[in-house]
Amino acid sequence: MPQLILLRHGQSQWNLENRFTGWWDVDVTEKGIEEALAAGQLMKERGIDPDICFTSLQTRAIKTLNLALEEMGRLWLPVEKNYRLNERHYGGLTGLNKQETRDKHGDEQVHIWRRSFDTPPPPMATDSEFQMSNDPRYKGIEVPATESLKDTIVRVLPYWKTRIAPELQNGQTVLISAHGNSLRALVKHLSNIPDDEITGLEIPTGQPIIYELDDDLNEIEHYYLSER
Ligand X SMILES: O=C(O)[C@@H](CO)OP(=O)(O)O
Which stretches of the chain bind ligand X, using CB under 6 A?
15, 20-22, 87, 90, 114, 180-181
Give the Cα separation of 217 and 165 in Å (integer).
Answer: 8
Measured torsion, CA atoms of residues 52, 56, 58, 60, in degrees rounded to the nearest 10: -50
Closest distance between ligand X and the C-beta of residue 9, in Å?
9
Strand partners, 223: 210
Q: Which residues contact 15 (CB under 8 A, 6 or more apart)?
A: 21, 29, 32, 205
Q: Return the residue nearest ligand X (CB atom).
A: 21
Residue among 30, 70, 71, 87 flagged as catalytic = 87
Q: Is 64 annotated as a binding residue?
A: no
SS3 34: helix
Closest distance between ligand X and the C-beta of residue 156, in Å?
14
Give the Cα separation of 67 and 61 in Å (integer).
Answer: 10
Q: Is 14 annotated as a binding residue?
A: yes
Q: Is 20 or 159 the residue whose CB approaches ligand X more closely?
A: 20
Strand partners, 175: 5, 53
Closest distance between ligand X and the C-beta of residue 216, in Å?
31
Q: Is 105 or 163 the residue whose CB approaches ligand X more closely?
A: 105
Q: Is 115 annotated as a binding residue?
A: yes
Residue among 9, 35, 71, 189 flagged as catalytic = 9
Angle in degrees, CA 124, 127, 133, rounded to 5: 70
Is position 9 annotated as part of the catalytic site? yes
Q: Is 3 annotated as a binding residue?
A: no
Q: Are 227 and 14 contacting, i.e. CB atoms less than 8 angstroms apart?
A: no
Q: Is 10 annotated as a binding residue?
A: yes
> Binding-site residues for substrate, please?
8-15, 21-22, 60, 87-90, 98, 114-115, 180-181
> Binding-site residues, please?
8-15, 21-22, 60, 87-90, 98, 114-115, 180-181
Catalytic residue list: 9, 87
